[in-house]
Amino acid sequence: MSKEFSITGNKVILNFSEQFFNDVDELLDSKSFLDLTKSFISYHKNESSRVYAYIEQFFINSSVENLAIELVDILKLLTVMNIEEISSKINKYHKLDEQKEGVLKIVEEYYDYWRNLERYSIIEQKKDSRGVGVVNFVELNEKLKNLILQSYRRIEMNITGAWPKVYRQVPAACDASIMIRYFNKDLPEIYNNLNKIPFITQVMIETPYITYTKSNKRDGVFEEVYKNPVLDTNINYPHFFCYPAKVGDNLIYIYFHRDLLTHGVSASNLFELAEVKDIENEKPDAIYIYGPKDKGERKNSFYYDKENELYVGYIAYSDKIDYFGYLKKMVLTLNNVINIKKGYLPIHGAGLSVVLQNNKTVNIVILGDSGAGKSESIEAFRTLAKDYIKELTIVFDDMGSFRIENGKVYAYGTEIGAFVRLDDLDAGYAFKQIDRSVFMNPDKVNSRLIMPVASFDEINKGYEVDFFLYADNYSAVLENAKSIELLDKKSEALRVFKRGGRLAKGTTTETGLVQTYFANPFGPVQKREECDKLLDLYFDTLYKNKVKVGTIKTQLGLENMQFIGPRAAAIELFELIKEIED
């Protein structure tokens, strides 16, 4: 990543290791500013906008290159002179003061164009470096923000003749910054070229971060293939980054195309970023190639490299996969097939540890596929917390695992964050989390919020399971009936849990009442034979330890029940918990 500035689609990447600006003059004199101006003019030329008509009228030149040079020139002049002085002293701009409205329109539209782009900065850290990148990682973005606001306000004042009455300190610099570093890993020869891709070692996000992606749904399952996708892929290495994720106790390298940088940065709100020592000293359990621009039809797939004991995930670039679900769910699929090989049972659901008023702890796991009501149940528990419980820890919001230790079943988490539907969250809660969150497509169907919810140490403590419930989002709770039904027989429980029925909620391309083996298309579906054996073992252990196993009717798929259903089920579950307390 050597270019000082690049712009592709709606994304801008600034390389602070190649160039930074100490003052307004350096900013406006830079090639980066000229390139941005060309992009701004080209956009309005393609749109045949009124702004482009203004620019052509003022500078009388049809070449985008020359128009950009002229516009940069006038903007630089407006930082030191007012528009009347420019008109009186510079012949070619002698009528500029007669076009204040047009000039002001251009400046406003340019500023909005910049702020509507997704803006990222990169700092390359050399090995053992103590230079500018390490010391001023966060401060550099703040300095750039001040330079941009200072330029914008000074130019506007020199057009209008007055300073603003209201100052809004908007995030005018970069939405996110990443520090990158190259590592010469001792990789098998087939993967050795991946050393050309830098690792992300630090992330800074200006929250709330609102982003729009080309897609907002995930489709299908990830198929296991028996030929290594690395053999045929065409990775443009200078256009890739690696996010090294600690997923539970697995280390997964996520290599992603720069056009998908939104998702690579957002991953830091969901998956623990590995330490430098982990990258240097540990072998990855899996790698994921996300977004190579390969030709032809390629499957969204994963492969097990037996020789190198490494799983490889692969998804080719397309507009369709520009959705965070494609990053998250492939990572979780890789994590789950690794865990199945270890003898752990992947759980697609929500896990929470509740501390009651008498200090007794109860650990609850709710199993369910996308849209079944897992996250909504957690939300219902949270809103009831002040009345019923002392403390609540979210062990996992979407994917965890069961492990047998000392003859008992324990729950472990995988993610430090949550990727939840805004539609099904209480609006007040979404706004309370606004200062820490990434918002994706907030005004679209299946709008999402990515927010941190627990520390890495918390999710990996291990919690002895007291309740294991299947989330039924399609069955109505009739009058005088219960939301929760405990299942006394292991055979009946296995039938319900394996069937994995749910009413699709628009989170994927599925519709209507659907079934997914063990409510988990991310590993168990692909490894059904191995998972059947694990289910027998784990359900035997659950029933031997008298764990309460059953169904919980969230009613989330029913009309007008997205808040009432999970809340009613949560209240009923608390009544069961109180029986334990008493």
Contact 12, 113 (CB under 8 A): no
Q: What is the pLDDT of residue 539?
A: 98
Kindly tell me if the per-residue pLDDT of 500 is higher than 60: yes
Q: What is the mean pLDDT of residues 559-580?
A: 80
Where residue 131 falls among pLDDT bands split at 50, 70, 90?
very low
Q: How far is C-alpha 257 from the chain's CA centre?
A: 15
Domain co-membership, 54 together with 187? no
Strand pairing category for 11-15 and 5-8: antiparallel
Classify residue 126 by its DSSP letter: P
Of 203, 255, 259, 236, nearest to 11 (Cα)? 259
Domain co-membership, 226 together with 242? yes
Among candidate residues 341, 364, 399, the one where a domain is terminated:
341
Domain co-membership, 182 together with 67? no
Among candidate residues 296, 315, 341, the one where a domain is terminated:
341
Lowest mean pLDDT among 248-252, 424-428, 434-438: 424-428
Among candidate residues 173, 208, 229, the one where a domain is terminated:
173
Q: What is the pLDDT of residue 130?
A: 45
Kindly tell me if the per-residue pLDDT of 136 is higher than 90: no
pLDDT in tens, 149-192: 999 999 999 999 988 888 777 888 999 999 999 999 999 999 99
Strand pairing category for 408-413 and 11-15: unpaired
- Range of the structural domain that residue 123 is part of: 5-173
Element (H, E) at 434: none
How far is the CA of 455 from the CAs of 261, 335, 360, 365, 464, in angstroms? 24, 19, 22, 18, 18
Q: What is the pLDDT of residue 341?
A: 97
Q: What is the pLDDT of residue 91?
A: 87
- The Cα diameter of the chain in Å comes to 92
**Within-domain flag for 166:** yes
**Within-domain flag for 432:** no
Q: What is the mean pLDDT of residues 200-219?
A: 91
Q: What is the mean pLDDT of residues 445-456?
A: 88
Number of domains the chain contains: 3
**Within-domain flag for 183:** yes
Q: Distance between CA 458 and CA 413 in Å, rounded?
A: 8
Q: What is the pLDDT of residue 429?
A: 52
Contact 397, 445 (CB under 8 A): no
Where residue 94 falls among pLDDT bands split at 50, 70, 90?
confident
Domain co-membership, 267 together with 306? yes
Q: What is the mean pLDDT of residues 78-98?
A: 91
Q: Distance between CA 486 and CA 527 in Å, rounded?
A: 28
Q: Distance between CA 373 and CA 183 in Å, rounded?
A: 42
**Within-domain flag for 83:** yes
Domain co-membership, 28 together with 164? yes
Strand pairing category for 467-472 and 361-367: parallel
- β-bridge partners, 505: none
Q: What is the mean pLDDT of residues 443-467?
A: 92
Domain co-membership, 163 together with 114? yes
**Within-domain flag for 205:** yes
Domain co-membership, 75 together with 100? yes
pLDDT in tens, 39-75: 999 999 999 898 998 888 777 667 899 999 999 999 9
**Within-domain flag for 336:** yes
Q: Distance between CA 23 and CA 2 in Å, rounded?
A: 23
Domain co-membership, 248 together with 184? yes
Domain co-membership, 115 together with 154? yes
**Within-domain flag for 429:** no
Domain co-membership, 52 together with 131? yes
Domain co-membership, 152 together with 181? no
Where residue 510 falls among pLDDT bands split at 50, 70, 90?
low
Alpha helices, DSSP H only, in 483-527? 490-499
Kindly tell me if the per-residue pLDDT of 373 is higher than 80: no
- Burial string for 51-76 (b: 16+ CB within 10 Å, else e) reads bbebbeebbeeeebeebbebbbebbb
402 CB neighbour count, 10 Å cutoff: 23
pLDDT in tens, 512-525: 788 899 999 999 99
**Within-domain flag for 448:** no
Q: Distance between CA 299 and CA 316 in Å, rounded?
A: 8
Q: What is the pLDDT of residue 76?
A: 96
What's this model's pTM, rounded to 2 decimal places? 0.91
pLDDT in tens, 357-371: 778 899 999 998 876
Instruction: Tell me the CB-side half-sphere exposure of residue 24, using CA atoms within 13 A.
Output: 17
Residue type, 540: D
- Burial string for 442-466 (b: 16+ CB within 10 Å, else e) reads eeeebbbbbbbbbeeeebbeebbbb
Q: Is 568 helix (H, G, I), strand (E, B) or coil?
A: helix
Domain co-membership, 327 together with 359? no
Residue 396: give its domain's CATH number.
3.90.228.20
